[in-house]
Structure formats: structure tokens, C-alpha cells
């Protein structure tokens, strides 16, 4: 296929991707190949947007070409808080809204020799050369960063007309895609906000693609986003959460989801119950943009199972049932013993008996078990 035909085919694929997010990797790779680049991605200079150029603290899966995914993972692994000249310097140039920038315009040969970004990320990742196509859509600056390996060599300003030939189509594609992203991803997760439900969309590898406002409020309060995944600050809780998502990922391959909810402990804050729901064909229609829904329940907002129900289910004594009911709200043993006006040693003795009767070994495991018996809350 001639170069013009390859570009036209790539642009057509990008139009399709605007209406189906999972098509972006293949479409962007076709675009990169047709333009003579190794890989590319789609970003905006608006850092408040999920696809902002600096992805260090972002929760959404941004559009990357197929061959760029491995480099993106390396970037997340090694960038830390270090500077990246490709993020900050292009916007300092006096360029028109639609423009083409190459690496020689923003860095020197000496900088490329000594800066950590080049030594630790660009060269090890075989993305030695960079350029960017910039367009503006509805007052928001967008760019398609393009990368070449050492074999392909640097980009040149003289190639501007070649790369800018796709700019008008890119503007229309991005305009259409923004409408789809806002409608298909935002509205359904926002509906869960109305139910006081903190929810995050995950892809088939366990990476976050989108979160709602309630989930976003949890970050920094016992949960963090690191390398595109949700982690708990508490180490034991993080291991449980990792096990939950890992089990979900391994289950998707055979079309089933065999996971149990887990408890996330938070220092000085109510504990959370984490659960995963697979995206059935119907759920995919509601929540386009992910393969599973990870949601968190604030245990303090849930009605604990009654003492009578706990006694009948696990043959607990009245004292043990009272303690178990308190623990089901996500409060620690100290808070529970204080509320029941019993000594810590007494509470620990009762807790050991509860462990034995319920077949659990840890308080978080016990809480998750007890919450399966919880009463439905008002919301």
C-alpha cells in the first residue's frame, strides 16, 4: 500500500477508535507505522484531564499504540519524581495552535547524553527520538507524541508537512472521542456516585481505566494509585487487594469470576470492603471502558449483622456475638472493647474463640466473612 493509502487507512482506524476505546492501541500503531514512527500515543496538555501528558498521578488508561505499551510501563516504573524535558519544554515554545515539534528544538545533544530520562528510560526502552503533532480542540491543547528508535533515527523539522497532513483529521477524531468518553464513561460511574458507591473501572490486566468521585476521594486516605493500579497503604491490606484483582484477572480468561470480597484497613479511618464485579454484556453497555468494576464500601455506613444472627450462624456466645457485631463495622479490637466496656485481654480471649468458631485467622478476614450476613443499608 502506498504511503498515502496507509495514512488514510490509519486515520479511518482512529475514527473507529473514537467510538470504541479498545481500538485505540491498534489504530494508533497503524498511524505510527504509516507516518514512519516506531510508536505513538494521544495526550493533552490539560493535566486535569485523565489523558494529561504527565501520567504519574493519573488513574485512567490513556491511549497508547500497541508498540508503546511496554515503553509506557517502563516510564511509569522509572520516572519517579524526576524531570522529563518532553513534558515541560514543548509548551514553552512560541508555536501556532497546529504545529510540529522535534526533539532537537527542546534538548541539546549534551542533555540527551546526561539526563536520567534518556539514560534510564529512552535508550533502555528503544525510544531514543521524539516529536509531537499538536492540535487544539475546543480550547484544549492535544498532542500526538511520536517516537523512533535509534535505527529509524531522529525526526527533522523538514518533515513537518508530512506529519501535519493528519492534523485536521486528528482534530475531528479527538472532538468525537471526547463526546463518547464523557457520555459512555462518565454518566454510569456518576450514577454510582448518587448511590454513595466508590467505584473504579479495571481493564483485563487489572489496570484502572476510570474512577468516580467517591473513589477518587479515597486516594490519599488509605488507597493510592501506583503504576496504573490501585494499592492499599496498609501492607497486609494491599496483599489482599492484589490477591483480589489477580484472581479476577486470572478468572477472566475462562469467562468466570471467582473472587471473595476483602477488607482494606485504614489507620484512623473506617475500614473498606473491596469487591469486584465482572462486566457482562449488559454491564458493558452501561460501563463502556473497562472489563470489571472494583467498588469499595465504607463499613461504617453499613448495618452490621445482628447479634442474634451471629449467634445462630456461628454458635457464638452472647458476649462473643456482641464483639463480633462491633468488629463487623470495621472498628479495631481496641475501639470495640472500649465501646463494650470490656478489657482488652477479655476482648482478645473472645476474639480467639470467634476465630475458632468461624474458621478465620485474622480480623480483616473475619470482618469480610461477617459482612456477608450484613443487613442492607438505607442507600
Q: For residue 350, give the 3-state DSSP assignment.
A: helix
Q: Determine contact, residues 262/243, Cβ cutoff 8 Å.
A: yes
What pLDDT sits at residue 255? 46
Rounded to whole angstroms, how far apart are CA atoms 19 and 260? 34
What pLDDT sits at residue 259? 66
Orientation of helix 318-327 relative to helix 344-358, angle to 10°? 90
Rounded to whole angstroms, how far apart are CA atoms 314 and 280? 34
Write out residues in the chain with pLDDT < 70, as ranges.
1-3, 57-60, 179-191, 194-195, 252-259, 278-290, 300-305, 330-331, 371-379
Q: Which residues contact 86 (CB under 8 A, 6 or more apart)?
A: 103, 106, 117, 130, 145
Q: Which helix (H) or strand (E) holds 368?
A: helix 363-370
Rounded to whole angstroms, how far apart are CA atoms 176 and 260? 39
DSSP 241-285: HHHHHHHHHHHHTTT------EEEEETTEEEEEEEEEE--HHHHH
* 229-234 own/partner pairs: CB under 8 Å, 24+ apart: 230/200, 230/294, 232/264, 232/265, 233/266, 233/267, 234/264, 234/265, 234/266, 234/267
274-304 b/e with 16+ CB inside 10 Å = b?
Answer: bbbebbeeebeeebbbbbbbbbbbbbeebeb
Look up cell 449467634; give the residue.
311
DSSP one-letter code for 117: I
* Total residues found in the chain within this entry: 379
Residue-wise pLDDT tens digits, 119-166: 999 999 999 999 999 999 877 899 999 999 999 999 999 999 999 999
State the CB neighbour count (10 A cutoff) for residue 341: 6
Residue-wise pLDDT tens digits, 20-52: 888 999 999 999 999 999 999 999 988 777 788
8: Cα within 13 Å, side-chain hemisphere: 5
What pLDDT sits at residue 252? 59
Phi/psi for 26 (5° steps) reads -65, -40
Q: Determine contact, residues 319/290, Cβ cutoff 8 Å.
A: no
Rounded to whole angstroms, how far apart are CA atoms 255 and 278? 9
What domains are there in the chain, each with its CATH number? 3-178 (3.30.450.80), 195-301 (3.30.450.20), 307-373 (1.10.10.10)
Indicate yes or no: pTM above 0.85: no
Amino acid at each position: 500500500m502506498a504511503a498515502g493509502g496507509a495514512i488514510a487507512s490509519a486515520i479511518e482506524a482512529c475514527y473507529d477508535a473514537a467510538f470504541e476505546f479498545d481500538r485505540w492501541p491498534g489504530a494508533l500503531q497503524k498511524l505510527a507505522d504509516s507516518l514512519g514512527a516506531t510508536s505513538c500515543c494521544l495526550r493533552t496538555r490539560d493535566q486535569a484531564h485523565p489523558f494529561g501528558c504527565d501520567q504519574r498521578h493519573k488513574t485512567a488508561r490513556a491511549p497508547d499504540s500497541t508498540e508503546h505499551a511496554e515503553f509506557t510501563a517502563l516510564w511509569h516504573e522509572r520516572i519517579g519524581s524526576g524531570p522529563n524535558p518532553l513534558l515541560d519544554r514543548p509548551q514553552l515554545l512560541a508555536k501556532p495552535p497546529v504545529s510540529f515539534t522535534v526533539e532537537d528544538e527542546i534538548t541539546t545533544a549534551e542533555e540527551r547524553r546526561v539526563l536520567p530520562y534518556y539514560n534510564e528510560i529512552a535508550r533502555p526502552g528503544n525510544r531514543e527520538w521524539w516529536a509531537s503533532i499538536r492540535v487544539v480542540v475546543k480550547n484544549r491543547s492535544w498532542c500526538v507524541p511520536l517516537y523512533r528508535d535509534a535505527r529509524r533515527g531522529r525526526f527533522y523539522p523538514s518533515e513537518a508537512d508530512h506529519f501535519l497532513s493528519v492534523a485536521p483529521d486528528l482534530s475531528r477524531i479527538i472532538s468525537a472521542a471526547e463526546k463518547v468518553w464523557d457520555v459512555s464513561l462518565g454518566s454510569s460511574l456518576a450514577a454510582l456516585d448518587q448511590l454513595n458507591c466508590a467505584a473504579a473501572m479495571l481493564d483485563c490486566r487489572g489496570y484502572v481505566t476510570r474512577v468516580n468521585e467517591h473513589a477518587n476521594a479515597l486516594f490519599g486516605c488509605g488507597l493510592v494509585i501506583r503504576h496504573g493500579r490501585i494499592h492499599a497503604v496498609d501492607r497486609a491490606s494491599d496483599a489482599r487487594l492484589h490477591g483480589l484483582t489477580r484472581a479476577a484477572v486470572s478468572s477472566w480468561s475462562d469467562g468466570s469470576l471467582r473472587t471473595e470480597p476483602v477488607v482494606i484497613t485504614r489507620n484512623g479511618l473506617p475500614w473498606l470492603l473491596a469487591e469486584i464485579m465482572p462486566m457482562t454484556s449488559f454491564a458493558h453497555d452501561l460501563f463502556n471502558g473497562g472489563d470489571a468494576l472494583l467498588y469499595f464500601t465504607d463499613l461504617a455506613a453499613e448495618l452490621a449483622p445482628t447479634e442474634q444472627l451471629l449467634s445462630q450462624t456461628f454458635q457464638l456466645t452472647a458476649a462473643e456475638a456482641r464483639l463480633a457485631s462491633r468488629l463487623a463495622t470495621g472498628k479495631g479490637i481496641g475501639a470495640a472493647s472500649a465501646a463494650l466496656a470490656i478489657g482488652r485481654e477479655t476482648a482478645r480471649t473472645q476474639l480467639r474463640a470467634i476465630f475458632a468458631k468461624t474458621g478465620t485467622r485474622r480480623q480483616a478476614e473475619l470482618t469480610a466473612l461477617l459482612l456477608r450476613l450484613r443487613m442492607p443499608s438505607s442507600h
